[in-house]
Amino acid sequence: MQIVALMAAFMMLMSAPLWAQSKSKTAEDLAAYSGPDREQLLLEGAKKEGKIVWYTSLAGASYKRIVSAFGKKYPDVKIEVYRAGSKDLTPKILNEAQAGNFLADALETTPGTLMLLRDKKILLPYESPELKRYPASAKYEAEDGKVFWVNDRESFIGFGYNTTLVASKDVPKNFDDLLNPVWKGKMGMQLNSTGDRVIGTMLKVKGKEYLDKFQKQDVKLFKVSGAALLDLIVAGEVTASPTIFRDHVLAKIDTGAPVQWVPMDLVPTNAGGAAVIKNAPHPHAAMLFTDFLIGDAGQKILQELHYSLAWKEYSFPRYYPERGLKTLQYLTAEKGWDKLLQQVGRNS
Whether residues 211 and 172 share a domain: the answer is yes
Whether residues 334 and 224 share a domain: the answer is yes
Which pLDDT belongs to residue 10? 37
Give a yes or no: residue 2 inside a domain. no
Question: At 56, phi and psi to the nearest 5?
Answer: -150, 150
Whether residues 201 and 284 share a domain: the answer is no
Give a yes or no: residue 13 inside a domain. no
Which pLDDT belongs to residue 315? 95
Q: What is the CATH number of the domain that holds 129?
A: 3.40.190.10
Whether residues 125 and 229 share a domain: the answer is no
Whether residues 117 and 163 share a domain: the answer is no
By C-alpha distance, which of 271, 288, 339, 330 is closest to 73? 288
Phi-psi region of 203 (alpha: psi -120 to 50; beta: other; left: phi over 0): alpha
Whether residues 223 and 142 share a domain: the answer is no
Whether residues 129 and 50 share a domain: the answer is yes
Q: Which residues contact 346 (CB under 8 A, 6 or more apart)?
A: 218, 219, 220, 221
Number of domains observed in the structure of the chain: 2
Whether residues 67 and 55 share a domain: the answer is yes
Cα separations in angstroms, 282 against 20, 37, 53, 291, 339 = 19, 19, 8, 14, 42
Which pLDDT belongs to residue 189? 97
Whether residues 37 and 83 share a domain: the answer is yes
**Virtual CA dihedral for 65, 292, 56, 134, nearest 10 degrees?**
-120
Give a yes or no: residue 207 inside a domain. yes
Whether residues 105 and 242 share a domain: the answer is no
Range of the domain at 69: 25-154+270-304
**In angstroms, rounded to a whole number, what is the distance separating the alpha carbons of residues 122 and 107?**
11
Whether residues 52 and 135 share a domain: the answer is yes
Which pLDDT belongs to residue 347? 83
Which pLDDT belongs to residue 24? 53
Per-residue pLDDT of the chain (348 residues; tens, 9 = 90+): 444 443 443 343 343 344 434 445 788 999 999 899 999 999 999 999 999 999 999 987 889 999 999 999 999 999 999 999 888 899 999 999 999 999 999 999 998 899 999 999 999 999 999 999 999 999 999 988 899 999 999 999 999 999 999 999 999 999 999 999 999 999 999 998 899 999 999 999 999 999 999 999 999 999 988 889 999 999 999 999 999 999 999 999 999 999 999 999 999 999 999 999 999 999 999 999 999 999 999 999 999 999 999 999 999 999 999 988 999 999 899 999 999 999 998 887
By C-alpha distance, which of 342, 327, 333 is closest to 117? 327
Which pLDDT belongs to residue 346? 82
Q: Which helix (H) or strand (E) holds 213?
A: helix 208-214
Whether residues 227 and 277 share a domain: the answer is no
Coil, helix or strand for 209?
Answer: helix
Which residues face 126 on adjacent strands? 147
Q: Which residues contact 171 (CB under 8 A, 6 or more apart)?
A: 161, 260, 262
